Amino acid sequence: MEFRIPKAEFVRGLRLAQSIADRKSTMPMLANVLLRTQGKDKLLVAATDLNVSLTAELKSTNTAEGGLTVNAKALHDLVVSAPGDTLTLKRTDNHWAEIKSGKVNYRIVGMPDRDFPKVPDPREVTFGEVDASVLREMIDRTLFSVCNDETRFHLNGVLFESSGSKARMVSTDGHRLSKVERPLPGGPQLSAGVIIPKKGLLEIKRVLEGATTAKLAVKTPHVFLQNEELSLAVKLIDAQFPPYEQVIPKDPKRSVVIDRALLVESLKRAQLMSSETRGVKLSLAAGTLTIASDNPDLGEVREEIDSDYAGDAIAIGFNPKYVIELLGQMTSDQVSLSLGGELDPGLWRPLGADDYVGVIMPMRI
Amino acid sequence: MPAPTIAHVDLDAFFTSVEERDDPSLRGKPVVVGGSVKRGVVASASYAARVFGVRSAMPMAVAMRLCPQAVVVPHRMERYAEASAGFMAILRDYSPAVEALSFDEAFLDLTGSERLLGDGRAIATAIKQRVVRELALVASVGVAPIKLAAKIASDIDKPDGLRVITPAELLPFLHALPTSRLWGVGEVTQDKLATLGLRTIGDVARYPEAALIARLGPVWGHHLAQLARGEDPRTVVAADAPVSVGHQETFEDDVTDAHDLEPILLHQADRIGARLRRADLRAGVVVLIIKYDDFAQHTRRTTLPDPTSDGAVIARAALRLLRDVAIGAQPGRRVRLCGISTTSLEARDAPRQLTLDEGQRAKGERLGDVLDGIRGKFGAGAVKRAVHLADDDE
């Protein structure tokens, strides 16, 4: 096996490969990246942690066929620091790789490519072309509220529902829920939602970087994403997502519209004075919203914001981090908060046509 | 400043007294409360059993040799905990400073209470009467200016004792006692003192402290000299809220199959849930404790997403932890003891983040509250999980 490849092209594939390759796995092979020539002018680069798999078809000039695996991180760092614009890589005896770039010669130890796990083949699925920025935005708006507790694996990802024209993403960590809906023509036609794990979504975001369109497909048990020569296959979480509609309040009794930037600023100030277990208190009375927090070890803060509120007075506690993170994903100038009682979930929406809601359970204070 | 007044209150033969109270047919018989006959130790012996030389903490096998006719009763911690809670509640009516030493024993600082409630003897008498009336149990009380003397005084006229040592009586009382009565003096120190010719606390008091320090070291020498002078620096420390609630069990025969531990852990989790609810607490961390046949102890811990007092939630966490523990028939993998401990306790009404499935969560705890009520009324065995029915002999 021997090929020549432009450094920039190689780095593009290896950058993602080394982020996916699993250095901590008990299977040493998973820390490696697979390099395999395809015909005369293509190099297959693949990496997997068995849940997220990357395959990249890079342009190369192949002079001898074959394959090899080497440590992904080491190869990436080495290629990035190589002096020349092109590199040649040659497999030698005992699966060593010899790399030449400019006047530098490297030899790094490798493993045979036949031991590399089989990765899902993107050529076997039918893709639809979607707007990459919409997909990215939907991920951003749900990723932050994914549950990180591994014992609740059904919540360790984002629920993705897609009709072929519209798509929906929902995530929840048990304390809050985010739901976004967007037109997504070209998206897969799914009869039921699928759960895409958090790590996979992070890699999908990486692949989407700089793209205007991307190809998307769901073929159980994977979701596939393709951006030019990079293909990602993410293993779906095989579980039932909870019936999320049930926790979205249907017709809360009280509602108030607030300036989003003002509220975020105020919450950040209150957060400085709040203790982790107590949160901040939002008190609504006719015409005003008071944001207050106190910390027995520190002190207290109170701030009044004008509001259009006309209902009866209510005070409710929230974890400021949850509200700030949610409002940070909204873009409208104004947001609405709808409330039932002080122990009922708060429903946050951007004012306008943006089809996005956040549900946050209050803190009992 | 007036001398402090400290009471030491101790329930007589607590576990066996509870058993005799609950089952009058046991009264007057040599009753021994303990776990397993093979492996257990005596948790409590009635006075009728003590006549035969049976003592607490004695291996059960030895006790059975000394007193073969003893009636062995398995311990029922729930009943004792219940009686103990009633006991401590009575004590707290007489002083805010109650330091529980165990289920059946506590120090009270009566220094401030005397002005309101009468002198030490009056309070001690009142406590004894209420314990009889409300709990049908018998307490012995010692009252003294220091903890050391109060504890000795409660013991000296047991059972049903009441001894008051006034500040003037303190030194004569202490000095007549053997050195073994000094706090911290075991057989080894006792022998050392005996070689110096010191047999009573009075002997120690008359011995120069410097010489005592030279013989026993600075810490011990000073400690004993101080106690012998009637100075006990220990104050009554009211217990803080508990830092953990747990339950564990040593098995008669080692367990070699993890599945066999499941119903046991479930039962332990249920009991922990009940205790948390009784104390109006929730736990945020669950720790699984496994001790192997070679006495190696392993613990695994997990933080719950949301604190709970629901036994089912605690059990689920413990069973999940159990999956990471190697259990088998080979030596070193056989389980001798398993248990659960819960920590990161917080008050049930503490501020907390509510969850989207709050209704579901609240249901588990409410069910627990209802079961607690039924068990409180009809006994611990009134309601059981189906998996535990097979344990019943009835």
Q: Are A356 and A283 in contact (CB under 8 A)?
A: no
Residue B183: pLDDT above 80? yes
pLDDT at B367: 86
Q: Is the minimum CB–CB distance between A277 and chain B shorter than 8 Å?
A: yes
pLDDT at B350: 81
Note whether B37 and B116 are same-domain residues.
yes
Note whether B94 and B113 are same-domain residues.
yes
Q: Enumerate the residues of chain B whose CB falls inside 8 A of the CB of residue A277.
A: 346, 350-352
Count how many pairs of residues, chain A against chain B, have C-beta atoms within 8 Å: 50
Note whether A126 and A237 are same-domain residues.
yes
Note whether A174 and A193 are same-domain residues.
yes
Q: End of a domain among A115, A149, A177?
A: A115
Mean pLDDT of the B73-83 span = 85
Note whether A62 and A105 are same-domain residues.
yes
C-beta neighbour count of B167 within 10 angstroms: 15
| Structural domain harbouring A326 | 248-360
Percent of chain A with pLDDT over 90: 85
Q: End of a domain among A197, A230, A245?
A: A245
Note whether A255 and A287 are same-domain residues.
yes
Q: Is residue A365 part of a domain?
A: no
Q: Which of A152, A177, A242 sits opposite B305 (nearest CB)?
A: A152
pLDDT at A284: 95
Residue B385 pLDDT class (50, 70, 90 cuts): confident
B363 contact partners, CB below 8 Å, separation of at least 6: none
Mean pLDDT of the A169-188 span = 96
Mean pLDDT of the B191-212 span = 90
The CATH number covering residue B209 comes to 1.10.150.20
Residue B46: pLDDT above 80? yes
Note whether B322 and B253 are same-domain residues.
yes
Q: Is residue A184 part of a domain?
A: yes
Residue B96: pLDDT above 90? no
What is the dihedral sign for C-alpha B352, B354, B355, B357?
positive
Alpha carbons within 13 A on the beta-carbon side of B336? 13
Residue B394: pLDDT above 80? no
Domains in chain B: how many in total? 3
Q: Are B320 and A188 in contact (CB under 8 A)?
A: no
What is the predicted ipTM? 0.86
Active site residue B105: yes
Q: Are B155 and B10 in contact (CB under 8 A)?
A: yes
- A279 vs B302: CB contact, 8 Å cut-off? no
Domains in chain A: how many in total? 3
Mean pLDDT of the B294-314 span = 92
Note whether A215 and A204 are same-domain residues.
yes
Mean pLDDT highest for which of A21-25, A43-47, A150-154, A351-355? A43-47
Mean pLDDT of the A52-78 span = 95
C-beta neighbour count of B298 within 10 angstroms: 13
Alpha carbons within 13 A on the beta-carbon side of B339? 17
Q: Is residue B37 part of a domain?
A: yes
Q: Is residue B196 part of a domain?
A: yes
Q: Are B327 and B256 in contact (CB under 8 A)?
A: yes
| Structural domain harbouring B55 | 1-166
In DSSP terms, A219 is beta-bridged to A222
The CATH number covering residue B299 comes to 3.30.1490.100
B74 contact partners, CB below 8 Å, separation of at least 6: B33, B34, B35
Question: And the tokens for A205?
Answer: 């975001």
Mean pLDDT of the B327-347 span = 91
Query: Rounded to a whole number, what is the distance in Å from the CA of B243 to chain A's nearest CA?
Result: 18
Rounded-to-integer distance, Cα B70 and Cα B48, Å: 9
The CATH number covering residue A241 comes to 3.10.150.10
Residues 242-261, chain A: which have Cβ within 8 Å of B?
Answer: 242, 247
Residue B364: pLDDT above 90? no
Note whether B265 and B219 are same-domain residues.
no
pLDDT single digits (tens) B216-262: 888 888 888 999 999 988 888 776 667 788 998 888 889 999 999 99
User: Residue B10: left if φ>0, alpha if ψ -120 to 50, beta else—which one?
Assistant: beta
Note whether A132 and A182 are same-domain residues.
yes
Q: To probe the interface with B, which of A153, A274, A361 has the most B CB atoms within 10 Å? A: A361
Rounded-to-integer distance, Cα B94 and Cα B122, Å: 11
| Residue B337, φ and ψ in degrees, nearest 5 | -145, 140
Residue A317: pLDDT above 90? yes
The CATH number covering residue B142 comes to 3.30.70.270
Model confidence pTM above 0.90: no
Note whether A289 and A278 are same-domain residues.
yes
Note whether B18 and B51 are same-domain residues.
yes
Residue B391 pLDDT class (50, 70, 90 cuts): low
Q: End of a domain among A92, A115, A138?
A: A115
Residue B94 pLDDT class (50, 70, 90 cuts): confident
pLDDT at A275: 76
Note whether A307 and A208 are same-domain residues.
no
Q: Which of B302, B320, B351 sits opposite A277 (nearest CB)?
A: B351
Q: To probe the interface with A, which of B306, B308, B353 has the most A CB atoms within 10 Å? A: B353
A60 contact partners, CB below 8 Å, separation of at least 6: A3, A4, A5, A9, A37, A41, A42, A43
Residue B43: pLDDT above 90? no
Note whether A211 and A130 are same-domain residues.
yes
pLDDT single digits (tens) B308-336: 999 999 999 999 999 989 999 999 999 99
Rounded-to-integer distance, Cα A94 and Cα A151, Å: 42
Q: End of a domain among B115, B145, B166?
A: B166
